[in-house]
Chains A and B, each alone.
Chain A
Amino acid sequence: MSIDTDTARRVAKLARIKVEDDALPALAQEFGAILGFIEQLNEVDVDGVEPMTSVTPQRLKRREDVVTDGSQQAKVLANAPDAREGFFAVPKVVE
């Protein structure tokens, strides 16, 4: 399967990874090789097979809908690259 540079650009954008224009052709080629490898899956007869949702048959455990944690603002912010006045700080989002 061949992937063009526009597709590579779109995927990089969706993944929120900056890729310079001159790196796109090589990236597209790499995607093409990996997708070519993946395409072997088309040989498998999967008619009537349900896609796996859980590798061990188990129901997700339920618990009471109550607060079990919280009030850890300082710890939550301790590793932030930019935290101010008790908040995570980011570049301006709204004009």
Chain B
Amino acid sequence: MIIEETIEEKIWEALREVQDPEIPVLSLVDLGMISQIDCDKSNKVKVFMTPTFTGCPAINIMKTMIVMKLAEHGFEETEVIIDTENTWNTDKISEEGKQKLIKFGIAAPHKKSCMVEMSDLQDVPCPHCGSSSTTLRSPFGSTLCRAMHYCNSCRQSFEQFKPL
């Protein structure tokens, strides 16, 4: 039992080193994209990943990154399975992940996914100066998961990881 726990922990540790290609300060674990891991006796690993957006173009590269990273950590055979049963939403981003996002200059999604209304996208705190006097410019941004806002206080545009 004890041995199995350490192996699982080793896998999670390796996964924590796999960064999101679009937001390189966040790992796939911070994002809550890994829904389950599994390792059999012959060290064959299965990683279940739930994509953030259906049309995310980074899915295949992330699969490759996971396989390579686990190989670095001594797991020669890894299969990444797209988990379609567990739906990802922004509540799955860890608190630590949200703090990292803000430091990176992207406003964090607030906790109430699934109930997103237009008003939830107004007055998003600016990641640069903290002001809440901000305006939504567009619910779409440089990647599928971001919206664009403008801060009326520091007069800067900023992006938000939009709640989903």
Asked if A and B are interacting partners, one says: no
- The interface of chain B, by Cβ under 8 A from chain A, is none
- The interface of chain A, by Cβ under 8 A from chain B, is none
